[in-house]
Amino acid sequence: MYGPFETLPFSSYRVSPLGVAEGKYSKKKRLILDLSAPHQSDIHFSINELIDKDTCSMSYVKIDNAIDIILKYGRHSWLCKYDISNAFKNCPILPSQWPLFCIKWEDKYYFYVRLTFGCRSSPIIFDTLSQAICYIATNNYKVNNILHLLDDFLTIDPPHAEGERSMALMMMIFKRLNVPIAMHKTVGPVTCLEYLGIILDSEKNGSPSTAGKG
């Protein structure tokens, strides 16, 4: 974010309100830029209304995808989890679009230069980075069975394989791409971990336990 400014360095711009949203799985509260404001206005369109909804639709990974792989491999399957730190902040906004991402706080102006929470297109734009990471891992380094939901990644290896290999290769890929990792959320190789709010346990009767986080 750039600022503060007494006046913004743009001839025309849009100032949107700030809000707070709670993460679905982490319950962490995030600051968002409410680009859906003004709501239900017949006079002014919001920024999100100007973004084609169909081009931003996504199909997300399901926890069943991970369960199916663990069931296939059976007991003692190795699980590794990785989380990109400050996910959206890794993707820049085109300078020509900076005027659309402005806020006002305590009589000063600021504008975002990185993807923001609250923008309709942010998830699918960020997901292109995640898909590229998965492609590189699978095709260049033979990391099989890699799943992701935006910034949350999971690799699954059979019992006879070395889970350490997947962990080492993924960390190398993130480092080479200069993608920061939240180390306190990075886990593995283990046989039990939490992913997307679900406990996956490859030790329990050869299948995962899908108990909630509580």
DSSP 107-136: TEEEE--B--TT-TTHHHHHHHHHHHHHHH
Tokens found for residue 27: 């319950």
Beta strands in 36-151 (DSSP E): 78-83, 102-105, 108-111, 146-149
Q: List the beta bridge partners of residue 212.
A: 198
Could you tell me the CATH number of the domain that includes residue 34? 3.30.70.270
Express each pLDDT in 30-61 by its tens digit.
Answer: 888 999 988 777 777 899 998 999 999 888 88
Domain-embedded: residue 210: no
SS3 category, 157: strand
Domain-embedded: residue 114: yes
How many domains, in total, are found in the chain? 1
Domain-embedded: residue 207: no
pLDDT of residue 25: 62
191 alpha-carbon distance from chain centroid: 24
CA-angle at 37, arms to 33 and 41, nearest 5°? 175
pLDDT of residue 26: 64
Domain-embedded: residue 195: yes
Domain-embedded: residue 155: yes
Domain-embedded: residue 17: yes
pLDDT, average across residues 137-144: 96
Express each pLDDT in 63-106 by its tens digit.
Answer: 899 999 999 998 899 999 999 999 999 999 999 999 999 999 99
Determine what percent of the chain is predicted with pLDDT higher than 70. 93
Domain-embedded: residue 9: yes
Q: What's the pLDDT band for 24 if we cut at 50, 70, 90? A: low
Residue 129 has pLDDT above 90, yes or no: yes
Residues 6+ apart with CB under 8 A from 212: 197, 198, 199
Domain-embedded: residue 212: no
Cα(109)–Cα(47) distance, rounded to whole angstroms?
Answer: 18
Cα(11)–Cα(79) distance, rounded to whole angstroms?
Answer: 52
By residue range, what is the domain housing residue 125?
2-201
Strands 152-157 and 146-149, sheet pairing? antiparallel
Long-range contacts of range 162-171, CB-CB < 8 Å, 24 or more positions apart? 162/78, 162/189, 163/78, 163/79, 163/80, 163/188, 163/189, 163/190, 164/189, 166/78, 166/80, 167/80, 169/137, 169/141, 169/143, 170/80, 170/82, 170/137, 170/143, 170/146, 171/82
Contact indicator for 181, 84 with CB cutoff of 8 Å? yes
Express each pLDDT in 144-186 by its tens digit.
Answer: 899 999 999 999 999 999 899 999 999 999 999 999 999 999 9
Cα(6)–Cα(119) distance, rounded to whole angstroms?
Answer: 25
Poorest-pLDDT segment among 12-16, 130-134, 193-197:
193-197
**pTM of the entire predicted model:** 0.85
Cα(40)–Cα(46) distance, rounded to whole angstroms?
Answer: 9
Instruction: Indicate the residue type of 169.
Output: L
Residue 214 has pLDDT above 50, yes or no: no
